[in-house]
Amino acid sequence: MTSEKMAELILNHTGGYEKNNFPQTKGMDAMQVLRNQHSDKIFAIIFEQAQQLLINLKLTPEHVSELRQEVGIYPGYHMSKKHWITINYEEAALSEHEFLAMASESVQLTQK
């Protein structure tokens, strides 16, 4: 899956929008920044690096702690490690339902 397809999947599920204010980063093939339509806050960053699809999501600290025990889920790349995780989509054993539930949680946490 590409970062563009992943962004489309998440946006169709959450109703957010895409807006990237960041400069192109060396070593990053593509980057989509997804924002909450009510608060304009970032709830997901999707990027491709070294042929890997990576997704940053904001979750509760308890959920972050629990998920970081799983394969393919890491502390948030360039984000608060307490509130954000980075998911390696190819490595993580997540169903689409589980993944979209986390995207929805991220939207809820960025409402205000």
The 10 Å Cβ neighbour count of residue 61 is 11
Which CATH number covers residue 89? 3.90.1150.30
0.75 surpassed by pTM: yes
**């986390």: which residue's tokens?**
102
pLDDT digits 0-9 by tens, 62-105: 999 999 889 999 998 778 788 999 999 999 999 999 999 999 99
HEC string of 43-66 equals EEEEEEECCEEEEEEECCHHHHHH
Q: What percent of the chain has pLDDT over 90?
A: 70
Q: What is the mean pLDDT of residues 5-24?
A: 87
| Structural domains counted in the chain | 1
Burial 7-32 (b: 16+ CB within 10 A, else e): bebbbeebebeeeeeeeeeeeeeebb
Instruction: Tell me which residue range forms the domain holding 93.
Output: 3-109
